[in-house]
Amino acid sequence: MISRLSTAALLVTASFAQTLDRTKPPETPPLQPYKLPASVESKLPNGLGVVLVEDKRFPLVTLRIAFHAGSRFDPPGRLGVAETVASLLKAGTPTRTARQIAEELAAIGGSLSAGDSPDSLIVSGSVLSENTPRLLDLAADIVRNADFPQNEIDLRKQNRVQELALERSQSSTLASEKLRAVVFGAHPYAHSLPTPQAIQSIRREDLLEFRDNLLTPANATLILVGDLPPQQQALDLIRARFASWPRKPIPPTPGGEFPKPQRSLTLIDRPGSAQVDILIGHITVSRRHPDYFPLIVGTNILGGGASSRMFNNIREKQGFAYDASAHNMPYKDTGLLNVNTQVREEVIEPALKAVFAELDRMTKEPVTAQELIDRKNYINGIFVMQLSSQSGVASQLASLRINDMPNAYLETYVTRVRSVEPDQIERAAAKYFSPSGAAIVIVGDASKIARSLEKFGKVTIEKAK
């Protein structure tokens, strides 16, 4: 009996092996569009937006409180206020010290943190669903009543100055700071990191003013995702902690005109640098723009990972660099194309030519059918995977609220990526990839590479700070 079964198994295996072509990767079936779980949206009388999304898979609840209150709102001469507010929200309130907040979170197995970006300040938390009321207690206390004790401010300033020194010791940081300054000009997006002097000048009054003006209910959305109580009960929990939060006017959003894109080449002199950082940027568009989806598909084909054009040419074929990539970073008002690689100083000239050639190629040659299929599948796969967790759903919803976008964006994303055509990518590339309108930032030893760079146009040399 055993012999007969073994023979049958061998025959099946042999038959399968004959029909399986191992020289070709398996085809990826098209992903279905994402479907947001059942959700309820409302608004308290004080203007606080509320989004409840039910997810009963795990006995967990994830929280986000998203404020239109990022670094673009830093007052003039006080760059770093938003990040300092975010870092010190848990430093104490009139009724809880920093230690008490930490102990209460530990007692309920919860987490609570805050972070800022150019457009937002977002409080994030999670907890076992049975402890949702206690997490809401803590979240309400820190966003409404954070009082920024002076000793905590002093410690934060001391630590932050040391962190900034470490960050600016990296050539990639120097390149990124300069690129944003060139691309965004006088717009607040031009600022990435504060100076040590700006951090040292921050006063407790600045933090309290930021809290009072920007951490307000009409300027915020509270999002809960997970194993929630029944709808009315969940809303009652939120009202009990946030309804008495006084409504205040929403301050205007700082902004301004972006400079017209034009070719520039800046060399940041870093004597003794062991490598050369190449960073090329161009202002692009926000998520709301019709060019956005052709742009992200095109950017992914250009430099999105190990199968991208830049990686295959600059690393695999030419051997100029360990990595070469391209990313589009969207903001509320615009976006930034960021093309980067790091090379040896002796190959700076051919490497820069190779990067320009790949950018130029995107504007002139249609992408292939296989490139299009592979990158669409990759982009959509990452997107759907990110939304497989409570944290991913909560973060995406927070991003939508900050960018004034509807939930439908999530549910149409896969279809819109899949609908991108080669001619759309070529048109977007002509607008945003052309080297003729790009800001080019190089960080390296000027004594060794300046002459090579002069072959690409006028070079502005600045000392590394």
pLDDT tens for 380-422 read 999 999 999 999 999 999 999 999 999 999 999 999 999 999 9
Helix (H, G, I), strand (E, B) or coil at 282: strand
Q: How far apart are CA 159 and CA 173, in angstroms?
A: 18
Q: How many CB atoms lie within 10 A of CB 314?
A: 28
Q: Average pLDDT in the 225-251 region?
A: 96
Judge whether 355 and 305 are in contact, CB under 8 Å.
Answer: no
Q: How far apart are CA 302 and CA 433, in angstroms?
A: 10
Q: How far apart are CA 382 and CA 299, in angstroms?
A: 15
Task: Report whether pLDDT(4) > 60.
Answer: no
pLDDT score at 12: 46
Judge whether 432 and 284 are in contact, CB under 8 Å.
Answer: yes
Residue 367 CB contacts under 8 Å (≥ 6 apart), including other chains: 298, 301, 422, 425, 426
Task: Report whether pLDDT(27) > 80.
Answer: no
Domain boundaries, the chain: 39-242, 264-463
pLDDT band (50, 70, 90) for residue 274: confident
Q: Average pLDDT in the 359-375 region?
A: 94
Give the model confidence (pLDDT) of 161-202 as tens digits.
999 999 999 999 999 999 999 999 999 999 989 999 999 999
Of 14-28, 216-230, 326-340, which range is least confident?
Answer: 14-28
Task: Report whether pLDDT(26) > 50.
Answer: yes
Domain 39-242 in CATH 3.30.830.10? The answer is yes
Give the model confidence (pLDDT) of 253-265 as tens digits.
999 899 999 999 9
Q: Average pLDDT in the 211-234 region?
A: 97
Q: Taking the CA atoms of the chain, what radius of gyration do you get in angstroms?
A: 26
Task: Please give the share of the chain, as a percent, with pLDDT higher than 90.
Answer: 89
DSSP 54-108: E-TTSSEEEEEEEES-SGGGPPTT-TTHHHHHHHHGGGB-SS-BHHHHHHHHHHH
| pLDDT averaged over every residue in the chain | 93
Return phi, psi of residue 86, to 5°: -60, -40
Task: Report whether pLDDT(210) > 90.
Answer: yes
Give the model confidence (pLDDT) of 36-70 as tens digits.
888 999 999 999 999 999 999 999 999 999 999 99
264-463 matches 39-242 in CATH topology: yes
Q: How far apart are CA 421 and CA 418, in angstroms?
A: 8
pLDDT band (50, 70, 90) for residue 203: very high
Q: How far apart are CA 432 and CA 128, in angstroms?
A: 46
pLDDT band (50, 70, 90) for residue 33: confident
DSSP bridge pairs for 340: 279, 325
Q: How far apart are CA 437 and CA 33, in angstroms?
A: 36
Task: Give the amino acid at 340.
Answer: N
pTM of the full predicted structure? 0.91
Q: Average pLDDT in the 428-438 region?
A: 94
pLDDT band (50, 70, 90) for residue 28: low
Domain 264-463 in CATH 3.30.830.10? The answer is yes
Q: How far apart are CA 370 and CA 92, in angstroms?
A: 55
Of 5-14, 62-71, 363-372, which range is least confident?
Answer: 5-14
Q: Average pLDDT in the 3-32 region?
A: 60
Q: How far apart are CA 215 and CA 298, in angstroms?
A: 38
